[in-house]
Structure 1
């Protein structure tokens, strides 16, 4: 996997520097910087969920430029077919009769017969993804969130992350 941890921070070079130093000091050799773009830093770690827990616990009750820390289950091209494939796998991890919602940030694409990528609307993407999750939907108070976000990666490429999270995992620090 190219990266498996996303740290979103307040804008600004000082905040960027603070976050890079803090994460490196806290996680040490367990963290590898991969890329960054507009207040988003991508890392590779051995255990992303443990890294999130460590970062959140260390910052509890403190003022910080870190907004969110998100563990990543899958990194794929932002193509609706590829995202749907990994959502099928993640859906099986949601216990039967537990509720879910899909949160999508950014736009996914569909490749047409001629090989051109067409941007899909958010609603169209969510409907397509939701077809593969045979669980009850609860948009207001879900027990699980299938989180999909498209990031710029190495300045020119885009990648989609897909994670199965609890709603509290997406709250601001």
Structure 2
């Protein structure tokens, strides 16, 4: 799947359960035609939905706040705004086209997770950082440049740190 807009993680060997769960959740959120693909990487599922990926994260957080144990197998959901070939120039170009939304005076950090790729994280960070003319803050950034590489594809997003979903964190915040 080269047009995914959600990267979902699950416990190892629970990918099928998490795939079913995210499809059921997306259906409940209004997309009965969502698609998933279990990757060759343990615990990683790619999903494609017609719902904006940030909206999915918001709805997941709301669900955990009202019914924490409705989500059992989906561990994390990362919104992906653009998918490009996992090549430095393509990743950099994708970030460059989105970096302008980071306001003047705002800070950012680059997060890279790569699986089944020969690219080096430091090389990706150095290359991508040239596209973002803002202050770096590794501890408390106001924006995150997310680069998720799975094999030959890179999912890229430029989002605020509250736009990630972690079931563990959400459950902890809900008091469960």
With the length of structure 1 as denominator, give the TM-score of the two structures. Answer: 0.80
Alignment-derived partner of residue 19 in structure 2: 20
Secondary structure at the aligned position of 1:163 is classed as: strand
**Residue 74 of structure 1: CA displacement?**
0.9
The structure-2 alpha-carbon separation of the partners of 1:16 and 1:108, relative to structure 1 and needing over 3 Å to count, comes to closer
The structure-2 alpha-carbon separation of the partners of 1:133 and 1:108, relative to structure 1 and needing over 3 Å to count, comes to farther
**Residue 88 of structure 1: CA displacement?**
0.5
The structure-2 alpha-carbon separation of the partners of 1:107 and 1:7, relative to structure 1 and needing over 3 Å to count, comes to closer
1:23-102 equivalent positions in 2, closer than 5 A:
23-28=22-27, 29-37=32-40, 38-46=42-50, 47-60=52-65, 61-62=68-69, 64-102=72-110
Mean CA deviation greater in 18-27 or 140-149: 18-27
**Over residues 103-150 of structure 1, what are the superposed CA-to-partner deviations in whole Å (9 max), with x where a residue is unaligned?**
1112798xxxxxxxxx44322221111011011110111001001011
Contact map agreement 2:108 2:144 (CA 8 A) in 1: yes
Unaligned runs of 5+ in 1: 110-118, 153-157
Alignment-derived partner of residue 136 in structure 1: 135
Contact map agreement 1:79 1:108 (CA 8 A) in 2: no
Please tell me whether residue 5 in structure 1 is matched to residue 10 in structure 2: no
**Residue 72 of structure 1: CA displacement?**
0.6
With the length of structure 2 as denominator, give the TM-score of the two structures. Answer: 0.79
Aligned CA RMSD, in angstroms, stands at 2.2
The structure-2 alpha-carbon separation of the partners of 1:170 and 1:52, relative to structure 1 and needing over 3 Å to count, comes to closer
Distance 1:131 1:66 in 2: 34
The structure-2 alpha-carbon separation of the partners of 1:66 and 1:26, relative to structure 1 and needing over 3 Å to count, comes to closer
More helix by share: 2
Unaligned runs of 5+ in 2: 168-176
Contact map agreement 2:35 2:47 (CA 8 A) in 1: yes
More strand by share: 1
Distance 1:23 1:106 in 2: 22
Contact map agreement 2:77 2:165 (CA 8 A) in 1: no
Query: How many corresponding residue pairs?
Result: 157
